């Protein structure tokens, strides 16, 4: 059965269409792999009956010859997407047994195209974290291990840690994810997978539990660049229910995979050579530059002068928006309720018990920076600096640069408990290379480029012009071709 | 800028999150660590810079002012922790 789970999404699609395999056997192979991998804690909720039912419907459509673009392909869904009739937790206790009576637009688009959902994937609580250690359902363990201490439990990154680990461990062909400051690209880089955050507005946010609405975007995590292109085409599109979703046609991104990148201008930002960057990461980045140069791209040094302010700006804007979005969890309409002596006491006790410590901290920071007397000094100033960060990118693209190449993360994955326990800021630094992209609303893709000396994967990031995801797919596939092939870990957990 | 325990309690109350005494000192340290991390923004020259409103140059979309949904009270109440008929039930608010 295991060879079925080792197909890429594209290979499985072609095998289904040529009737070499059935959706039912493909789904069963994945359900079997999931059952053996529960120690990794990738799924919060498995939905085997639903998946097999959907597989039977797919097999019927494949036989009838009216299959959708993703017909019969089993995927995992980050448990931040509301799914009709299936419990949705956001990895928080505060949602209790919340079972949506509606389906998010993106997961509905995937279903419409024939994809099969295997279950709901673990994440950091409300997508707030970079290691999947803040989940109320326990941390996810990466399938990857360090050479030096193979018993150490490596984190899969976050917040989409269930998505990245499940894809790397072959527990689904692809997964949905979301990215507010790096939550698709950082976990992809940590697990040797591909993750794209499209341009803000490319995917509908409707039905996805909101964290920071001006930054949140949906996107896929997959094992190949082609698979990411296939997934994004089905996920993207205009939705009248999200006023920030953009009414522009969705390209057939798969056609961009493998296109020549000859003559493309790639910017290498000097400000990303941050203090304390390890020699290994610097050399890895240089290697990425060399791969694109060999593929015919032109390399130019660029300057993004406000880079150093992106992370501090993020840690004002994202908590501010989160404090507003998470005000809805009041113990009245859904989720957990703790009894109190009056309604205010009920709110306070419910929210104290329901939210984990990282979420409570961010709500409080957000409340503070929006409160009377501090609003201008913190929030408005941060929104101004955000304008400057965006203008940095605008000038670079106006000068003819097609895409920007950076490392995806400042290090490889670490082990559980190694970061952020004494100082929350240490964990925040994981997003130093990814957060600028959300600030400016741009598309960004993380693509694996090989492994570090410790045995863990490293990822490169490409940042593109608004709505030019196609160029990112072409460039990422050029890196994929040139880089050493990722050998995913053998299933030590099974 | 930094906060003291009384400010931490005030923020917690504004956030409608109950905190006990042990938590206040821990939160105080964590919040101050984050505030000192974002302090660097005060050195940026933002003279004449507009605060960002949207990353995309787009007009807010409008739709006709008509009813497009409704009549789904059971759906809306389906996850309520306490309800009676088609009402959410909350602790008594008015004496």
pLDDT digits (tens, 9 = 90+) for B50-62: 999 888 887 778 8
The whole-number average pLDDT for the span A69-96 is 98
Strand segments (E) across B6-94: 83-84, 87-88
Which residues 6+ apart lie within 8 Å of A163 measured at CB? A76, A78, A121, A123, A175, A176, A177, A184, A187, A221
Coil/strand/helix, residue A178: strand
Got the DSSP string for A395-452?
A: HHHHTT--EEEEESSSS---BTTSSSSS-HHHHHGGGTTTHHHHHHT--EEEEEEEE-
CA A485 from chain centre, in angstroms, equals: 22
* CB crowding A75-84: b at 16 or more within 10 Å, else e: bbbbbbbbbe
Whether A262 is a known active-site residue: answer no
Q: What rounded mean pLDDT belongs to chain A?
A: 97
In this complex, do B51 and A380 lie within 8 Å of one another by their Cβ atoms?
A: yes
Residue of B37, B75, B88 with shortest CB distance to A425: B37
Region class of B85: left (phi > 0), else alpha (psi between -120 and 50), else beta: left
Alpha-carbon span B13 to A344, nearest angstrom: 9
Number of domains in chain A: 1
Q: Does A2 have pLDDT greater than 70?
A: no
Please answer whether residues A489 and A144 qualify as being in contact, where contact means their C-beta atoms are separated by less than 8 angstroms.
Answer: yes
pLDDT at A175: 98
pLDDT at A94: 98
pLDDT at B43: 96
The whole-number average pLDDT for the span A22-38 is 98
Whether A78 is a known active-site residue: answer yes
Residue A111's pLDDT band, with cuts at 50, 70 and 90, is: very high
Q: Is residue A343 part of a domain?
A: yes
Chain A residues within 8 A of B34 when measuring between CB atoms = 315, 361, 365, 424-425
Q: Does A114 have pLDDT greater than 50?
A: yes
ipTM, interface predicted TM-score of the complex? 0.96
Q: Is residue A360 part of a domain?
A: yes
Chain A residues within 8 A of B33 when measuring between CB atoms = 423-425
Name the least confident of A102-111, A366-375, A421-430, A468-477.
Answer: A421-430
pLDDT at B58: 78
Q: What is the pLDDT of residues A131-176, one digit of tens each?
A: 999 999 999 999 999 999 999 999 999 999 999 999 999 999 999 9
Alpha-carbon span A475 to A446, nearest angstrom: 11
Chain A residues within 8 A of B16 when measuring between CB atoms = 327, 330, 344, 347-348, 351
Residue B93's pLDDT band, with cuts at 50, 70 and 90, is: confident
Say yes or no: A371 contacts chain B, CB-CB below 8 A.
yes
Residue A425's pLDDT band, with cuts at 50, 70 and 90, is: confident
Residue percentage of chain A with pLDDT more than 90: 96
Residue of A383, A384, A424 with shortest CB distance to B33: A424
Say yes or no: B18 contacts chain A, CB-CB below 8 A.
yes
Domains and CATH numbers, chain B: 5-43 (1.10.20)
Host domain of residue A344? 308-381
**pTM for this prediction:** 0.97
Strands A116-121 and A43-46: antiparallel
* Tokens linked to B15: 């956030």
Coil/strand/helix, residue A201: coil
Q: What is the pLDDT of residues B6-32, one digit of tens each?
A: 999 999 999 999 999 999 999 999 999
Q: Is residue A461 part of a domain?
A: no
Alpha-carbon span A331 to A310, nearest angstrom: 35
Residue A1's pLDDT band, with cuts at 50, 70 and 90, is: very low
Residue A420's pLDDT band, with cuts at 50, 70 and 90, is: confident
Q: Is residue A376 part of a domain?
A: yes
Q: Is residue A323 part of a domain?
A: yes
The whole-number average pLDDT for the span A416-437 is 90
Number of Cβ within 10 Å of residue A262's Cβ equals: 10
Residue of B31, B60, B63 with shortest CB distance to A364: B31
Residue A412's pLDDT band, with cuts at 50, 70 and 90, is: very high
Q: Does A211 have pLDDT greater than 50?
A: yes
Q: Is residue A372 part of a domain?
A: yes
Q: Considering the candidates A159, A234, A323, A474, report the single residue annotated as catalytic.
A: A159
Please answer whether residues A407 and A457 qualify as being in contact, where contact means their C-beta atoms are separated by less than 8 angstroms.
Answer: no
pLDDT at B63: 85
Q: Does A424 have pLDDT greater than 90?
A: no
Q: Is residue A319 part of a domain?
A: yes
Q: What is the pLDDT of residues A270-325, one digit of tens each?
A: 999 988 889 999 999 999 999 999 999 999 999 999 999 999 999 999 999 999 99
Q: Is residue A338 part of a domain?
A: yes
Alpha-carbon span A305 to A392, nearest angstrom: 7
Alpha-carbon span A327 to A458, nearest angstrom: 37
């Amino acid at each position: 059965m295991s060879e079925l789970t080792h197909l890429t999404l594209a290979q499985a699609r072609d095998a289904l269409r040529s009737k070499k395999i059935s959706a039912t056997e493909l789904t069963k192979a994945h359900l079997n792999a999931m059952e053996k991998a529960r120690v990794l804690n990738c799924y919060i909720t498995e939905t085997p009956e639903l998946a097999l039912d959907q597989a039977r419907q797919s097999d019927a459509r494949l036989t009838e010859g009216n299959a959708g673009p993703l017909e019969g392909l089993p995927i995992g869904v980050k448990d931040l997407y509301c799914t009709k009739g299936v419990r949705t937790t956001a990895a928080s206790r505060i949602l209790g047994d919340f079972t949506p009576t509606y389906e998010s637009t993106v997961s509905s688009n995937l279903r419409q195209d024939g994809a099969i959902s295997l279950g709901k994937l673990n994440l950091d609580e409300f997508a707030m974290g970079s290691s999947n250690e803040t989940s109320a359902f326990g941390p996810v363990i990466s399938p990857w291990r360090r050479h030096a201490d193979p018993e150490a439990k490596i984190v899969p990154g976050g917040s989409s840690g269930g998505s990245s680990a499940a894809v790397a461990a072959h527990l689904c062909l692809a997964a949905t994810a979301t990215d507010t400051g790096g939550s698709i690209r950082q976990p992809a880089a940590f697990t040797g997978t591909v993750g794209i955050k499209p341009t803000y507005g490319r995917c509908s946010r409707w039905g996805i539990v909101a964290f920071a609405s001006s930054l949140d975007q949906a996107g896929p995590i997959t094992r190949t660049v082609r698979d990411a292109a296939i997934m994004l085409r089905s996920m993207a599109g205009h939705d009248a229910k999200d006023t920030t979703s953009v009414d522009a046609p969705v390209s057939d991104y798969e056609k961009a995979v493998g296109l020549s990148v000859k003559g493309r201008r790639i910017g290498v930002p000097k400000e990303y050579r941050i203090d304390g960057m390890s020699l290994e990461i610097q050399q890895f980045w240089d290697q990425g530059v060399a791969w694109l140069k060999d593929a015919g791209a032109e390399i130019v040094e660029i300057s993004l002068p406000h880079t150093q302010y992106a992370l501090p700006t993020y840690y004002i804007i994202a908590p501010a928006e989160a404090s507003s979005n998470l005000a809805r969890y009041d113990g009245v309409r859904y989720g957990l309720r703790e009894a109190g002596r009056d309604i205010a006491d009920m709110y306070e006790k419910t929210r104290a018990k329901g939210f984990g410590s990282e979420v409570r901290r961010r709500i409080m920071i957000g409340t503070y920076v929006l409160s009377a007397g501090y609003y201008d000094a913190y929030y408005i100033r941060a929104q101004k600096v955000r304008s400057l960060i965006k203008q940095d990118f605008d000038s670079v693209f106006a000068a003819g640069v097609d895409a920007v190449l950076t490392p995806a993360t400042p290090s490889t994955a670490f082990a559980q408990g190694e970061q952020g326990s004494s100082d929350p800021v240490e964990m925040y630094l994981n997003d130093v290379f990814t957060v600028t992209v959300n600030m400016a609303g741009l598309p960004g893709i993380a693509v694996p480029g090989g492994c570090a000396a410790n045995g863990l994967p490293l990822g490169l990031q490409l940042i593109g012009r608004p709505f030019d995801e196609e160029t990112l797919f072409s460039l990422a596939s050029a890196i994929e071709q040139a880089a050493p092939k990722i050998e995913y870990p053998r299933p030590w957990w099974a | 800028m930094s906060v003291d325990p009384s400010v931490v309690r005030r923020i917690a109350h504004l956030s409608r999150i109950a905190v006990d005494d042990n938590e206040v000192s821990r939160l105080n340290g964590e919040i101050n660590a984050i505030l000192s991390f974002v302090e660097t923004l005060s050195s940026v020259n933002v003279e004449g810079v507009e605060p960002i409103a949207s990353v995309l140059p787009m007009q807010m979309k409008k739709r006709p002012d008509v009813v497009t949904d409704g009549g789904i009270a059971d759906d809306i109440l389906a996850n309520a922790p306490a309800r009676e008929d088609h009402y959410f039930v909350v602790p008594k608010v008015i004496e």
